[in-house]
Structure 1
Amino acid sequence: MEITLENADEVYAFYGAHRQPVMRARAAYAYLAARYRPAISYDDGARDQTIEMRRRNVRFVVCANHLSDKDQFVLAATAFRTPLRRLIGHIRVLAKDELFDDAKQRAQIDVMGGIPVFRPKDHQMRAAVAAGRQMIDVCVDRATRYGDSIAVFPEGTCNVTDPSTLLPIASGIGHIAHGIAENVEVALLPIGIAYPDDTRVGARVMMGAPELIDPAATPAAITRRVRTRLQNSVSDARGVLDVA
């Protein structure tokens, strides 16, 4: 199966039913944790609250800022070194479709829980928006029916201008979180990333406290809340970086 916009129906039917090989996923996350070695800090109560919600089977919508093509590896390493480790094998990560072009790389991304995203900036607008609705439906279904958590880089593109300030947040994360919240408990979990140098090793990572999403909140309100919470975590991560 080709990962193309023209083939979106088949693509999302596949990823709607796809199962990660849990043991291979854990091994891959462990390898990335050893390679990238993020230094992790927690907002007040964040670690204990994450554990408590995980035990209650609350789903998470994990959001992280996007600074480089290594961010997904740092986020995976962070998951392995935090209470999210227990969820490995049930974390789906949204990734741009071009990362699935190479067969070998696609196999690795599938192990890591990737779901392709056809961004309007890269494709014909109307078709990409329609595919985006399918992607949102897949995320909501996977969280509701299979207990998966969803990880998103909601800026949608690398921030190469000012790493201290988020780019505009795409509304898809609000629609995903809203759809999940209508069915099961789900919490927003912001993770801020700051890099000390160009190696991407030893990133300073700030895990914010998880926040339950009100099912009555609109997607737009949730998107605004994502921006506020994630910006706070980014600022805190950079504060740790400045002190180091």
Structure 2
Amino acid sequence: MELGEKLRLTRLEAGLSQRALCGDEITRNMLSRIENGAARPSMKTLGCLAARLGKPVSYFLEEDTVCSPNQEIMTAVRQLFDGKDYAGAMRALAQYRAPDEIYDRERQLLEILVRLHLAEEAIGDGREPYALELLEAVAALGKDAAYYSEDLEQRRCLLLARIPGQVVNLPGLDEALTVQAASALAGGDVQRAAHLLDGAEDRTAPCWNFLRGKCHMALEEFPEAARCFLAAEGEYNVLRELEICYREMGDYKNAYIYACRQKDTQ
């Protein structure tokens, strides 16, 4: 096994990102080149990297007779992935021969990352059924993948929440959903904003009710909008919105009350 390959696998086994391993002694670009076999580190650099990984320098310099039939495939996959050719990376991964104790864990991670990228592209292109298929595959792969993190699961769930008909309760992700919904609403995509908000776990927050009320109002669902605005009234100025809702509902008494309250605040 080449030095760069051994360095990469040792880093992954230690659970370190390239940024964490680099420190101040080496750039991420240089580390990436070393790991891909495009450059060799100086002894000083190798000493720093080995120390961070808890290994002697000799560990990375020893000849290793173990080889893998997947080495060329994984090199190609990395190059395609780095070049953002995710469809090409997926095709290359299909040639992988398991089991392989050298590459299996890295292959699992790349299988997941490639599918997440492809799912995001598919959603953007309106190919939601394909995106759903990819995200379901990610969930299945994540059950056994050594490097499947909470961040990756959150990313999967956020993408799933963007697919119409897939209402997802996402504990701990309400803030991210709210930000995305606000952005979608500002861009005029009311349906997407409503769909994102419906994936939130806490639907009592004033911010959630304010944004959901805006969605209901844009869709002319005035009774639902009024309920949301009333729940947000203590934190947001929704007097004008409530006046409009009550007027559209034919409740002119409350419409007049909120019109007067607007004048009082001016």
TM-score, length of structure 2 as denominator length? 0.24
Higher relative contact order (CA 8 A, sep 6+): 1
Richer in helix (by share): 2
Richer in strand (by share): 1
